[in-house]
Amino acid sequence: MCGIVGYVGDRDATPVLVNALRKLEYRGYDSAGIAVIGPEGLVVRKAKGALRRLEELIATETIRGSCGIGHTRWATHGEPSDVNSHPHTDVSGRIAVVHNGIIENHAKLRAWLEGRGVAFRSQTDTEVIAHLVDHHYEGDLLKAVVAVMGRIEGSYALAVVCEDEPGKIVAVRKDSPLVVGLGKAENLIASDVPALLEYTREVVYLEDKEIAVLTRDRVDFFDGAGERLSKKPSHVDWDVAAAEKGGFEHFMLKEIHEQPKALTDTFRARVDGDGKVNLSEIGLDESWARARRVVITACGTAWHAGVVAKYAFERIARIPVDVDIASEFRYRSPLFDPSDIFIIISQSGETADTLAAMRMARSSGARVIAITNVVGSTLAREADLVMYTWAGPEIAVASTKAFTTQLMCVYLIAIRLAALRGALADADAARLVGELSRLPDSARAILDRQAEIQRFASQSFNKSKAFFMGRLFDYAISLESALKLKEISYTHSEAFAAGELKHGPIALVDDSTLVVAICTQRELFDKMDSNIKEVKARGATVLVVTFDGESYFDATADAVFRVPEAPGELTPILSVIPCQLYAYYCAIQRGLDPDKPRNLAKSVTVE
């Protein structure tokens, strides 16, 4: 998730921009840059790596000018590099743009601009914006930005400056945050409040498609058509630490709440206007349809995404799937077929065991699709095809939004592969895509009810053990939910396929046991109900996760949490959310910091 800052006022812009960018470092980034307008015209400096590298770059010069924009980039289109860093400029170098978000129609726009003789310098989607602003610029930056908004699709927060209008910043947002800071003889813009707090506590939050035009003495607001708006400032009374978490108490809770937006970002750029999955961006073509088997390897939460993927690929694309923990896979003697498709899943793209499994697969001649969140990670660089989850940086050790966006990628690949293999009728594919498009809103509806989970956690957090059980897709989510609970609340928790209950686990059930029964597979409700009765008879407290309006388990369960209805194969994206929240609130009840669980690291780069 990139960070945007902008400054216009009496001070030198450069130190203000660098200082403000530092306050946005928590968002994660891989490069940084600034553009300042001064007596020398527009000066752009940018560098791959930490902000320190940008500071070293500009340490030996004086960049004069009191109006500028800055950016920390979290790569999406194009690897982290100096040239792909923001700001991006038009051909003449008089217009500079910083951007947060994804321009979905950038390929079309790029082709159109190239057809008009524009030579691109970077691989980014953002560069099209700089050239488009130039194309529409007729002496009024606001009008040019309004025209560009009519041409770009996707999510964006933008700040734009132009040498011909020094002392002015035009900023706009759609689906990506942007806040205006109102100062005395200075005004600022930033992706998030922490970057502003050293200069002002009076802020205006931009809503979608609202534009702010900042000069030293005033800020004017406009709607997407360029009509003037009046906006009321708010006073910020949070401290900086709270502000970095967007008002949430912990990064984990913030990231849980970011899931609707992250799911939308993952989905939207891969589905055409006619509702068809289009994975041309990652290169998944007919040649991949000849595979006889899919093999999935990963670790931890990413492996749980692989377990969901096994069920999803077999059901949707009718192709056999093996799923394996990467650390097991690399030391057993796996059998390879050159036609195998390997799917390697990793949030960080740097997990040692996962990379080793990927390298084994490649050296056997198999082709590898990586699903990862980190652009330019080792996994992304070494795999044959890469599908980015575009969840934005995940800071909490416990993986949440990375998991649900991994699942979104899995479903999109499964539907596309099914189409290539002739395994799914067009109408069924369209129905599934329609259902996927509804999941972000359904996730939002679950989050709106988090108080119910919080209440249940306050009543049950001190249980000495917790079992999660389910069947099919609900079994996969039981695995993930048990991991979430154990890693941040240190509750002894296990997951099992509900059909296994009688084969051993029931021996452990007593009145100190919490059982969370995930029940979203309608055809197996009666089996789950029997399992619930069996654990209830041994004294367990039972929480059921099932659908809105469903009363099947009301008589047996102690508590029921409901999620919006979805087809059985797609429910994992929804049913995991109450379990993430449950783990979070149990950790809080136990007085633990969920962002920093003991003995765990965010990225496991050693064996």
Least distance (Å) between residue 354 CB and ligand M6R: 5
- By beta-carbon proximity to ligand M6R, the closer residue of 244 and 595 is 595
Least distance (Å) between residue 600 CB and ligand M6R: 6
Q: Which of residues 440-459 bind ligand M6R (CB under 6 A)?
A: none
Active site (annotated) includes residue 602: yes
Active site (annotated) includes residue 579: no
Residue span 350-369 as binding mask against ligand M6R, x where in contact by CB under 6 A, dash where not: -x--x---------------
Q: By CB under 6 A, which span of 92-100, 253-261, 395-403, 528-536 interacts with ligand M6R?
A: 395-403
Q: Is 307 in the site for ligand M6R (CB under 6 A)?
A: no
Q: Is 259 in the site for ligand M6R (CB under 6 A)?
A: no
Closest residue to ligand M6R using C-beta atoms: 300
Least distance (Å) between residue 346 CB and ligand M6R: 3
587: nearest Cα among 457, 466, 493: 457
Q: Which of residues 460-499 bind ligand M6R (CB under 6 A)?
A: 483, 487
440: nearest Cα among 247, 258, 248, 245: 258
Q: Is 142 in the site for ligand M6R (CB under 6 A)?
A: no
| Strand pairing category for 465-470 and 385-388 | unpaired
Q: Is 378 in the site for ligand M6R (CB under 6 A)?
A: no
The span from the CA of 403 to the CA of 262, in Å, is 11
Across 206-259, the runs of DSSP E, i.e. the strands, are 210-214, 219-222, 228-229, 234-235
DSSP assignments along 303-339, one per residue? HHHHHHHHHHIIIII---EEEEEHHHHTTS-----TT
503 contacts: CB under 8 Å, gap ≥ 6: none
169: Cα within 13 Å, side-chain hemisphere: 36
Q: By CB under 6 A, which span of 49-57, 93-101, 494-502, 598-606 interacts with ligand M6R?
A: 598-606
Least distance (Å) between residue 300 CB and ligand M6R: 2
Q: Is 124 in the site for ligand M6R (CB under 6 A)?
A: no
Least distance (Å) between residue 450 CB and ligand M6R: 19
Q: Is 603 in the site for ligand M6R (CB under 6 A)?
A: yes
DSSP 371: E
- Of 2, 299, 519, 586, which residue is the catalytic one? 2
Least distance (Å) between residue 351 CB and ligand M6R: 3
455: nearest Cα among 559, 542, 592: 559
Least distance (Å) between residue 303 CB and ligand M6R: 8
Kindly state the greatest CA–CA separation across the chain: 80
Least distance (Å) between residue 374 CB and ligand M6R: 8
DSSP 175: B
- Torsional sign, CA 215, 220, 221, 226: negative
Q: Determine which residue in the list 155, 191, 348, 521 makes contact with ligand M6R, applying CB under 6 A.
A: 348
- By beta-carbon proximity to ligand M6R, the closer residue of 474 and 487 is 487
24 contacts: CB under 8 Å, gap ≥ 6: 3, 5, 72, 190, 191, 192, 194, 195
- By beta-carbon proximity to ligand M6R, the closer residue of 122 and 603 is 603
Encode burial over 488-526: b for 16+ CB neighbours within 10 A, e otherwise.
bbebebbbbbbeebeeebbeebeeebbbbbbbbbeebbe
- By beta-carbon proximity to ligand M6R, the closer residue of 302 and 439 is 302
Least distance (Å) between residue 305 CB and ligand M6R: 9
Q: In residues, how long is the chain?
A: 607
Q: By CB under 6 A, which span of 34-42, 52-60, 226-234, 393-401 interacts with ligand M6R?
A: 393-401
Q: In sequence order, what are the beta bridge partners of 495?
A: 468
Radius of gyration of the chain (CA): 25
144 contacts: CB under 8 Å, gap ≥ 6: 133, 136, 137, 138
CB 120 within 8 Å of CB 88: no
- Of 143, 209, 465, 602, which residue is the catalytic one? 602
- Total residues contacting ligand M6R by CB under 6 A comes to 17
Q: Is 604 in the site for ligand M6R (CB under 6 A)?
A: yes
Residue type, 434: G
Q: By CB under 6 A, which span of 248-256, 262-270, 293-301, 469-477 interacts with ligand M6R?
A: 293-301
Q: Is 100 in the site for ligand M6R (CB under 6 A)?
A: no
Q: Is 347 in the site for ligand M6R (CB under 6 A)?
A: yes
Q: Determine which residue in the list 302, 443, 477, 573 makes contact with ligand M6R, applying CB under 6 A.
A: 302
Q: Is 300 in the site for ligand M6R (CB under 6 A)?
A: yes
Q: By CB under 6 A, which span of 151-159, 199-207, 296-304, 436-444 interacts with ligand M6R?
A: 296-304
Q: Determine which residue in the list 42, 299, 519, 528 makes contact with ligand M6R, applying CB under 6 A.
A: 299
CB atoms within 10 A of CB 239: 10
Check residue 182 and give left, alpha or beta (phi > 0: left; psi -120 to 50: alpha): beta
Q: Is 398 in the site for ligand M6R (CB under 6 A)?
A: yes
Q: By CB under 6 A, which span of 96-104, 343-351, 382-390, 548-556 interacts with ligand M6R?
A: 343-351
Least distance (Å) between residue 444 CB and ligand M6R: 22
Q: Pull the structure tokens for residue 534.
A: 């069996």
195: nearest Cα among 236, 253, 255: 236
27: nearest Cα among 345, 394, 387, 334: 394
Catalytic residues: 2, 602
Contacting residues toward ligand M6R, per CB under 6 A: 299-302, 346-348, 351, 354, 397-399, 483, 487, 600, 603-604
